[in-house]
Each structure stands twice: as C-alpha cells, then as structure tokens.
C-alpha cells in the first residue's frame, strides 16, 4: 500500500515560512494515526501554484496519473482547499479518487463517503471558492489603492532599462542607463540609425539589456524603449485584463493566460521621472511611422522612390505607384512598361452618383523622382546657404494640408446628406428587398464617413505637430553630415539609401494641377524649411489605363 501526501502553496513567498513542510508534517502524523506504515509514503510537493485550476498543476497531475495507474491506495492532505479552491475541481478529483478505489483523508477536516459527508464536503468547497473570489477582489483593490494613493509601481518584477525600483516601490532613474536611453533616441531621430545599427553600437559599448542573459540587444527591446511612454514620465497601470486559459499551460509549465486591453478610462496614470523630453519622443514616433512606410516600396520588378508619401492635393488620397504600357515594338510585338504615379480616385473602384472622380493626370515617375532627387543632392553638396533659412520658417508648407482638410470637409458634408436620405428611405421601406438594399448603402456611407473623418484627424495632427519638426542649427548640421556620408558616391548610391534620404527630407509631397495641367509641388517636412517653394517642370501622362 502506497500513501500519497499532497501539499501545496499558492506563492513562492509561502515556501519561505515552511508552510509546505508544516503540511507534510501534519500529513505524516495522520499516517501514523490511521495505522499506516511510514515507509510507504510518496510526497507530492506543489510550490507556487494556485488552487483554482487543477489541470495546470504539474505535480498534482502526476499524483492523479499515479492514482489512475493503481500506484496509490490512499491520499492525504491537510484540507480540501489544498486539492482545489474550485468546487468543480474538488468534485472532479473526488470522483477520480472514488473511481480508482483510493481512500481520501484530511488532517483538518473530516470526510466520510456518505450523504452527510458529501454535504459537508460540498459546503466546504463552496466556502473555499467564495474565499478565493474574495481574495482576488481584495488583492485587486489593494493594488489599485497602492497605485492611486501611494503611487507604487506594481506589479513589476524588473524595472525598465533606464530605471531602478526603489524599496518603497517607486521607479527611480538609473543615471548611467539614462544616458544610453537618451543616446538611443538621438541615434534614431537625429542620425536615423536602424534598430540593428543601434543594437550594434550598444553591443560595442558593452551596454547590456536589463533582462537578457546575453549582451546582444534584440530589435524588440530597442523598439520598446523608443515607444514606451515611461520614458516621458507616464506609467500606466491596469491597462490589461488577464484571464487564465482553463486547463492550458505554457511550454515552461505555467498556467497559460490571455490578455486584452481595458478601456482607457480604467487606466491609472502615474507620474514618474522622465528621461527624454516629450518633443523628442514624438519625433521618434514620427520616424517610426516613416520607417513603416518604407516597407514594400516596390515590387521585385519595379522600385518607387516616392511611394506612400506622394499625395493628391485635390482629393487627399495617397498616389498609387503603377505602370502603363507604351506602344508595341514593331519587331517584338512587346510593349515597354513605364513607371508612374496615379491618384486612386482617377479610376475609383466604386461607382455611383456620390462617387466623384479625380481628373488629375498621371505623373511620370522617372521625371518627378529625378527632379526631387536632384534637389536633395543640391542640399547636401552646398548646405550652408540653406541652413540660414531655418531661422525664417513660414507656414506655407501647411497650406496644401489645410486646403485638403477643406476638401475633405466638403466631401464629408455630401456623404452625411446622402446618408440622411438613405436613412429616411430605410426607415420608410416596407419591402424586405428594399430594406436590405438600403441597409447595405447605409453601411457603405458610414464606412466612407468614418474614413474621411480619420483623414481629417490625421491631417489636423500634422498641423498640430508641425513644431516637432523644428530642428536647431546644430541638429541640422548633424543631419547634413549624415547626408554627406550617405552621398560619398552619388553615382553609385543604391535605391535603399536614396529612399532613406528622401524620407528624411519629406513627410509628404503634395501634387496639384492648374487649369492648364501645370503641375505644382509643395511639401511638408525638413525639405520645406530649406526651400520656400519648389518650381517643377514635370510632364504628366493622360494615357488610357
């Protein structure tokens, strides 16, 4: 006869005050009291495991397996809540014990396998489950209270890079790491280094990540530093809700959890000492957006230098990068392909009275790319005469965006009026077919209105954050030097480097056409601070597509 003793504690802190040892001791005394021999004991010690889910406890699963394989005749533990704090969990285990002809004993409670014993056992189970819910609520309330009233940062096992956690639960600046965080932001914003290049520099300097076992920096670690609001003094608690996946465990044997974000009004914001100023942080986010635009800038066959930053000044849409076919060769019968940029509203995918086509010409990619690239090279090869213009910035660069917002607002008014007409028809419709048809049209208009409102917000954000582009002369000089380094061989420069330089200079390039189809180009970004205006002689294409 083999006797299984099961002992469990929920947290690692409980293992320090011999709670597990005390449970084992009490169970051994119960073995003697029952007249069993001590040599036949097998101990199952479960440390740091919650009693909520019986399927996520590895030691407990081992004991259940031994019961199923007839390796145990008796199971002893101190109290029913050691088996499980869930009533369903207790009943499941007790049913397994009964099916495997195993006897169950407790040191702190009586259990008899009769109607009265089962009633008492179920009553204890209900109380244990109720206590578990109370413990959760008290713990959550206690944590929220400490965060609100004492400004404690919790729970946080390891402080973020750049900070240490004080004895009283506050985040304090780690002075040496602070310097490296500031360097990371300057490298990313001023020198436009990639995450890989930043990681290489940190490695060469001997700077180690806070959590990693090796000296190598990962892109995710650097990205967290560049995006976390902790570094501008804002720590958010209670952002995520955690839920355990019943019966599931991770590869490391821990209970598997899912996470979802709570509504922002439930977040708790705590002020902590900042490491970088908010303006530099915002510049890093803008640079991150630029870098994301730089992905997939062309197919394997064609590359487009201005993809994703070329905007239509008439309707506000981002130009598509595409090709058109020239005349067929008389000998081969094949047509040559030409790269071009085209407003997507020139040939809209939706049709109807409310869809307005954009009648702007298609622009030859080779010509507009060539012109703007020549201007970029001109800045680097003779930067001194342009730097002085930084002191005389004007607001002309935003005129095109303001004009675009006005156009968006006109379109928004039209869409809302159209929605009102469809709403009236929808609520007056009696036929099911008409009802469904109007419902589809209502949904379409709502999506279009939402998209236009988002465009207005994005453009307004550009206007509001324009001051973030203001660079000092010293910073401008650093950027120019970085340009010069990139352009050490102008003729042999590769496409990626060209693209990087264009994105440094331009946030947006806006194309508008006069009545005579003359192309006007304005821009938003650093380039506009150096040039008060752009004179462009780029031809357009009215070819059929």
Residue-wise burial string across 199-231, b where 16 or more C-beta atoms lie within 10 A, e elsewhere: bebbeeeebbbeeeeeeebeeebbeebbebebb
**CATH superfamily of the 3-135 domain:** Resolvase, N-terminal catalytic domain (3.40.50.1390)
Residue ranges of domains in the chain: 3-135, 295-393+510-545
pLDDT per residue over 417-428, tens digit each?
A: 888 887 776 666
Report which of residues 464 and 459 the model is more confident about.
459
Reduced to 3 states (helix: H, G, I; strand: E, B; else coil), residue 453 is helix
Q: What is the pLDDT of residue 467?
A: 46
- Return the C-alpha torsion angle 452, 453, 454, 459, nearest 10: 90
Instruction: Give yes or no for a contact between 5 and 28, defined as CB atoms under 8 angstroms apart.
Output: yes
Confidence band for 4, pLDDT divided at 50, 70 and 90: very high
Tokens coding 278: 């908010």
- What is the DSSP-derived secondary structure letter of residue 247? E
* pLDDT for position 306: 92
CA 106 to chain centre: 49
Phi-psi region of 316 (alpha: psi -120 to 50; beta: other; left: phi over 0): left
The per-residue pLDDT for 125 is 61
The stretch 441-448 carries a mean pLDDT of 82
Question: What distance in Å separates the CA atoms of residue 512 and residue 314, rounded to the nearest whole number?
Answer: 6
The distance of Cα 430 from the centroid of its chain, to the nearest Å, equals 46
Is the Cβ–Cβ distance between 75 and 98 less than 8 Å?
no
Which among 199, 249, 248 has a CA at the least distance from the CA of 225? 199
3-class secondary-structure state, position 242: strand
Instruction: Categorise residue 364: left if φ over 0, alpha if ψ from -120 to 50, beta otherwise.
Output: beta
Q: Tell the residue number behind the tokens 């990205």, with chain if given.
A: 223
d(CA 354, CA 348): 12
Question: How confident is the model over 45-77, as pLDDT tens digits?
Answer: 888 777 667 777 888 889 999 998 999 999 999
Distance from C-alpha of 182 to C-alpha of 162, rounded to nearest angstrom: 9
The number of beta carbons lying within 10 Å of the beta carbon of residue 310 is 26
Q: Is the pLDDT of residue 290 over 80?
A: no
pLDDT-derived band of residue 9, with 50, 70 and 90 as boundaries? confident
Which of 191-200, 250-259, 533-542 is least confident?
A: 533-542
Cα 317 from Cα 315, distance rounded (Å): 6
Q: Quick: pLDDT tens for 473-516.
A: 566 666 666 666 666 665 667 888 888 888 878 888 888 888 77
Question: pTM for the full model?
Answer: 0.43
Residues 6 or more apart in contact with residue 51 via CB below 8 angstroms: 8, 10, 81, 82, 83, 84, 85, 86, 89, 128, 132
- Report CA 321 to chain centroid distance, whole Å: 28
Q: Do 45 and 24 touch, CB atoms closer than 8 A? A: yes
Q: What is the largest CA-CA distance in the chain?
A: 107
């Amino acid at each position: 006869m083999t006797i299984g003793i099961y002992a469990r504690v929920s947290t690692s802190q409980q293992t320090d005050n011999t709670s597990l040892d005390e449970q084992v001791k009490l169970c051994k005394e119960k073995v003697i009291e029952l007249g069993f021999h001590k040599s036949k004991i097998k101990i199952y010690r479960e440390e740091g495991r919650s009693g909520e889910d019986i399927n996520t406890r590895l030691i407990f699963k081992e004991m259940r397996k031994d019961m199923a394989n007839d390796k145990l005749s008796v199971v002893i533990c101190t109290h029913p809540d050691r088996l499980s704090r869930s009533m369903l969990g207790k009943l499941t285990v007790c049913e397994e014990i009964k099916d495997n002809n195993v006897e169950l004993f407790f040191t702190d409670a009586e259990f008899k396998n009769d109607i009265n014993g089962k009633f008492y056992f179920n009553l204890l189970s209900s109380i244990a489950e109720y206590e578990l819910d109370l413990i959760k609520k008290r713990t959550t309330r206690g944590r929220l209270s400490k965060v609100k009233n004492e400004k404690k940062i919790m729970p946080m096992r390891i402080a973020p890079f750049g900070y240490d956690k004080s004895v009283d639960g506050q985040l304090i600046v780690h002075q040496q790491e602070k310097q490296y965080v500031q360097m990371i932001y300057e490298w990313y914003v001023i020198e436009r280094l990639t995450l890989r290049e930043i990681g290489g520099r940190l490695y060469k300097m001997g700077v180690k990540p806070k959590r990693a076992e090796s000296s190598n920096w990962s892109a995710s670690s650097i990205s967290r530093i560049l995006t976390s609001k902790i570094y501008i003094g804002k720590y958010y608690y209670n952002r995520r809700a955690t839920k355990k996946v019943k019966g599931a465990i991770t590869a490391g044997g821990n209970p598997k959890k899912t996470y979802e974000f709570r509504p922002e009004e439930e977040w708790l914001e705590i002020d902590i000492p900042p490491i970088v100023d908010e303006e530099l942080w915002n510049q890093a986010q803008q640079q991150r957006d630029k870098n994301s635009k730089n992905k997939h800038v062309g197919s394997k066959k064609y590359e487009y230098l201005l993809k994703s930053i070329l905007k239509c000044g008439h309707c506000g849409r981002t130009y598509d990068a595409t090709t058109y076919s020239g005349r067929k060769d008389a000998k081969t019968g094949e047509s040559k392909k030409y790269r071009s940029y085209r407003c997507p509203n020139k040939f809209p995918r939706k049709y109807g009275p409310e869809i307005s086509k954009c009648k702007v010409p298609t622009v030859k990619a080779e010509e507009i790319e060539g012109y703007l690239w020549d201007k970029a090279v001109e800045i680097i090869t003779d930067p001194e005469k342009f730097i002085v213009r930084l002191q005389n910035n004007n607001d002309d660069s935003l005129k095109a965006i303001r004009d675009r917002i006005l156009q968006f607002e006109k379109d928004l008014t039209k869409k809302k009026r159209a929605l009102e007409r469809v709403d009236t028809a929808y609520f007056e419709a009696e036929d099911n077919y008409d009802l469904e048809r109007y419902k589809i049209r209502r949904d379409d208009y709502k999506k279009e209105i939402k998209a236009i409102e988002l465009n207005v917000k994005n453009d307004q954000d550009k206007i509001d954050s324009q001051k973030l582009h203001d660079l000092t002369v010293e910073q401008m000089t650093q950027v120019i030097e970085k340009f010069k380094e990139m352009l050490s061989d102008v003729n042999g420069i590769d496409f990626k480097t060209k693209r990087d330089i264009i994105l440094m200079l331009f946030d947006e390039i806006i194309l508008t056409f006069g009545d005579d189809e003359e192309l006007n180009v304005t821009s938003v970004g650093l380039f506009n601070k150096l040039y008060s205006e752009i004179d462009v002689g780029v031809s357009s294409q009215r070819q059929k597509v």
